[in-house]
Amino acid sequence: MASEVFVSGGTGLIGSEIVDQLMRDGFDVITTTTTKKKAGDFVKHSRKLRVERIDFTNSDFADRLKNIFSNNKALVAIINNARSLKFFETNDQGLCQPDDLISEFNLDVVIPYKISLMAVELVPNLETIINISSQYASRVPNPNLYNSNSEMSPIQYNVAKAALNKITKELAVRLGERKIRVNCIEFGGVEGRAPNAFINRYNAKAPHSRMLKASECYGPIKMLLDKNNSAINGAVIEANAGWTLC
């Protein structure tokens, strides 16, 4: 029986790359999406992939996950990667409404926390939890990269990801007795969504003169899944090609 990995939000730019490379490495994968159309993108991988339509902003997601996790002996890892653009709106000053801050905090912190706790209680062979964060969890966006404050990485997203980094460390300590490792990866900017003008400005700031390619996002995850790297626990790994060094 192949080891299995659960990936929330597996049909976005980064998520789909993670799911694809996990399967190439021999893992079976359970992932989530909010739309039927995106689920169809992975039909060719149906032997190794189970796609569940789950909207984590709906309260019934816990019951759905309970059915997936209960006594799943093949499941060894949880990757918290779900995101939504619903709460990203900001004004001309780059500020958001308090309700959007609360909603984004719920999606980026509370829901990964709930997913992790459910997995800890229901999955007998769980080894590791990996939270997907952003370089803006520990850095403030450089306004010189943007045409206006409203184009900056949303403040609610950045603040919520900072809290995700903290809860990663807390869980690493509190789940230590269960021998479950909890780590976090802060990814830098990834090609595929930004316009060329922004990419050029971003690349001029980066020591390696480029944004990340989506294919590069799997490497740190593969490292954390490897049992030979069991010494890494409670870490927040910067995976941005050195962009935050200067």
pLDDT tens by residue, 3-60: 999 999 998 899 999 999 999 999 999 999 987 655 545 555 556 899 999 999 888 8
Burial of 29 (0-12, 13-18, 19+ CB in 10 A): buried
Burial of 216 (0-12, 13-18, 19+ CB in 10 A): middle
Q: Give me the helices (H) in the chain, please.
A: 13-24, 36-40, 61-69, 98-105, 111-122, 155-174, 196-205, 218-225
- Could you read off the pLDDT of 155-192 as tens digits, one per residue? 999 999 999 999 999 999 999 999 999 999 999 999 98
Question: Which token pair is 61?
Answer: 């997601």
pTM to 2 decimal places = 0.94
Long-range Cβ contact pairs of 140-143 (< 8 A, separation 24 or more)? 142/205
